[in-house]
Structure 1
Amino acid sequence: MKIVNFLSTLFATVALAQSGNVGINTSTPDPSAILHIENFNGMPATATATISGGAVTGITISNGGSGYTSAPTVNFYGGGSIINGGSKARATATISNGSVTGITINNGGSGYTTAPTVTLTGGNKGLLFPNLNISSLNSTTSPVASPANGLIAFNGGANSNNKALHVFNSTTNQWQSTIDAENTPKVAYLDFTGNLSALDNAVAGARALLVVNPPAISGVSNINGLKVVQNTSSGGYSLVLPQGNYLVEVNLNLNSPQENPAGQGGTAPLSGSSYYLMGYFIDFTNDTYNNSTNTFTAGSNTRKEVPIVSKINTNHLATWSYYYSVPSNANGNIIGGLRLYLGRMQNSTFYDLVNVIPTGSYIKISQL
């Protein structure tokens, strides 16, 4: 009878801990399943989220829980099309006397069609992997004899290898260090689409919107929260980025055709040459974007000039670099909207049409 009672208790515990169909030992796991393993000494806190404009705009704590010795992790699950092109919301919790007393939205995310489920996990427990001394990545005898393919362990020994999780790969017969996701470079590439002709008969200082066609975000891009939004205030499209620091590099493939008619605005080649000084600038305008109301507020402007010497009907490449900072804000929905203008630099000797050629023109953004 004691054995039967023990088995019944064990089964009840497992049944209560399971959530959905977790994809273990299957080639077709359920992508919506959640594996929730936790040994928390206390009562978990509960909270609910509200959304507006596809972003999480509020979190209400329904039960602060008890037993927390450190702030739990706030996670969001579900919410509709967030898994198809949107970005996940992020928030942090604060505790007092062992209970959750507040949750701050750091980034409301985007793409939510229904309110996501809020979970608060951890606070005083973690998942502990075996701590091994993996002094030789090629060893199949020590610290594990004939390690199984996919075996995971933490290298905590006194050796020169990374102090990180390692996975054994039986194909190469060696341990491979995992990569810290936080240190993985975050970059994005935006390719120009459609032709753009600008600055026709324009004197030095004149400018025109650069991103008038929606750029295509490359599939290798991994900056969470990046999106391209049509700017109904100024026209064209703005690059929307969450709070943080970025290096923005604009690379343009340009071509200036023969003037028609000739001599517009004082255009003349350099003395004794068939080349022109086709100087350009880009104005980087730092607008503020409200992710919940889909509105822009005009911000400051920074101009970067690049002198280019070229002939007419000859492609010339121009590159600009700009350090872009989106300041932190208590409201996670107040983020950055970068607007770009292409203009003619002072002291240019060519004042007619310039074509921005999509092939070879792109914007690279690196999160710092």
Structure 2
Amino acid sequence: MKIFNLVGILLASLLFSQSGNVGINTPTPDNSAILHIENFSGTPATATATVSGGVVTAINITNGGSGYTSPPTINFYGGGSVVSGGSKAKATATVSGGVITGITINSGGTGYTIAPTVVISGGNKGLLFPSLNIANLSSTTTPVASPADGLIAYNGGANSNNKALHFFNSTTSQWQSSLDAEDTPKIAYIQLTGNLPLLDNSIQGISDRLLKNPLSVSAVSNINGFKVLPNDNAYSLILPQGNYLVEVNLNLNSPQENPAGFNGTAPLTGSTFYLMGYFIDFYRDVYNNSTGVFTAGTSSRKEIPIVSKVNTNHLATWSFYYSIPANADANIIGALRLYLGRMQGSTFYDLVNVIGDESYIKISKL
């Protein structure tokens, strides 16, 4: 009888450990998760999906729930999209008075053979790790005696180590810092769009707004507060207070001058090459993020000599250090305005095409 009971206990333990349904503070743990943690003080919302032609075409809210303080995440599970190699649907929720009032389909996905399950995940509580004073990363006595391998805690003490989650690595006998979001490189990529003809019959020193066409901001951009806004029939790059490195990369092409010889345009002596020099004027304007008002600022000019033939692509690059000083009013931020011009000493004074899909700007927060 004792042997039978022991076997029964072991079998039950084995079945539990392989179930994959482990949850804390949730009666319906996610079947695809090893551990599902959710603590929501309210009534969970529910919804169903409709599929047509392998695509999610509609979402019906069966219960708007209550207690939502922000829009929850909408997920789709099952429906065959993963099995058949399709793509997952995406949607966002709208909340009013703590209730989900609408769900917008951002992408219907592909490959669904049946309607997927709509899972609405939202919370108004967080997961709090113990706050410890991890002053010595090599200590196995303080603040924890003989810490277990993989023990996680937040370093909240007054010490020089990262204010971040740490875990103990028994192989190295050290606390190791997890990724600190503040140490993650902050960048923005701006793609120019469409070819932009500039400097037609323009002599030395003449310039024109560079960012006239709409700009495409890459999804990998993660500078908080960065945006692109229209300004004076073109666009300006809006950045919060801080220091930045701005790298401008332009692919340019100048057709044969028409009429030839305008203002003395001529190739370099004994060749078919021209000195097609350029400059960019970087204007440090001020933008009031509260009122939406631009105030013109000072400019810095950066020149670059380019020797090229007509009808030949040539790459021009600039680097510019852009500092936006701190201000008591956090709404007073920077607005970078760019002008492209013809450099002094050039021997070509006619049209240049900025090739949009091969020209971009990279901004790095320092």
Q: Indicate the residue corresponding to 1:194 in structure 2.
A: 194
Summarize deviations over 1:321-349 as a string: whole Å, max 9, x none: 11111121111111111110000000101
Identical counterparts, % of pairs: 64
Q: Contact 2:129/2:154 (CA < 8 Å) preserved in 1? A: no
Q: Contact 1:132/1:154 (CA < 8 Å) preserved in 2? A: no
Cα distance, 1:166–1:202 mapped onto 2, change above 3 Å: same
Q: Distance in 2 between matches of 1:315 and 1:23?
A: 63
Q: Indicate the residue corresponding to 2:226 in structure 1.
A: 226
SS in 2 for 1:330: coil
Aligned AA for 2:206? A
SS in 2 for 1:338: strand
Cα distance, 1:238–1:31 mapped onto 2, change above 3 Å: farther
Q: Distance in 2 between matches of 1:31 and 1:191?
A: 40
Give unmatched runs, 5+ long, in structure 2.
1-24, 42-67, 72-95, 97-127, 140-144
Q: Contact 2:131/2:153 (CA < 8 Å) preserved in 1? A: no
Q: Contact 2:254/2:351 (CA < 8 Å) preserved in 1? A: yes
Task: Find the partner of 1:128 among 127, 131, 134.
Answer: 131
Q: Contact 1:213/1:236 (CA < 8 Å) preserved in 2? A: yes
Aligned AA for 1:240? I
Q: Distance in 1 between matches of 2:242 and 2:26?
A: 35
Cα distance, 1:78–1:363 mapped onto 2, change above 3 Å: farther
Cα distance, 1:198–1:29 mapped onto 2, change above 3 Å: farther
Higher relative contact order (CA 8 A, sep 6+): 1
Q: After the TM superposition, which residues 259-338 of structure 1 pair with which residues of structure 2 at under 5 Å, given as runs?
A: 259-338=257-336
Q: Distance in 1 between matches of 2:27 and 2:263?
A: 68
Q: Contact 2:279/2:340 (CA < 8 Å) preserved in 1? A: yes
SS in 1 for 2:182: helix
Q: After the TM superposition, which residues 176-255 of structure 1 pair with which residues of structure 2 at under 5 Å, given as runs?
A: 177-231=177-231, 234-255=232-253
The alignment covers a number of residue pairs equal to 248
Q: Contact 2:129/2:152 (CA < 8 Å) preserved in 1? A: no
Give how far 1:153 is off.
Answer: 4.0
Cα distance, 1:302–1:133 mapped onto 2, change above 3 Å: closer
Q: Distance in 2 between matches of 1:194 and 1:242?
A: 28
Q: Contact 2:162/2:180 (CA < 8 Å) preserved in 1? A: no
Q: Distance in 1 between matches of 2:70 and 2:162?
A: 37
Cα distance, 1:29–1:269 mapped onto 2, change above 3 Å: farther
Aligned AA for 2:329? N
Give how far 1:184 is off.
Answer: 1.7
Q: Distance in 1 between matches of 2:237 and 2:351?
A: 26
Q: After the TM superposition, which residues 1-368 of structure 1 pair with which residues of structure 2 at under 5 Å, given as runs?
A: 127-129=130-132, 147=149, 151-153=151-153, 165-167=165-167, 177-231=177-231, 234-368=232-366
SS in 2 for 1:359: helix
Q: Distance in 2 between matches of 1:352 and 1:293?
A: 40
SS in 2 for 1:265: helix
TM-score of the superposition, structure 2-length normalised? 0.58
SS in 1 for 2:347: coil
Give unmatched runs, 5+ long, in structure 1.
1-20, 35-76, 81-113, 115-124, 137-141
CA RMSD in angstroms, aligned pairs only: 3.9
Cα distance, 1:315–1:133 mapped onto 2, change above 3 Å: same
Give how far 1:79 is off.
Answer: 8.1
Q: Indicate the residue corresponding to 2:103 in structure 1.
A: none
Q: Distance in 2 between matches of 1:284 and 1:327?
A: 16
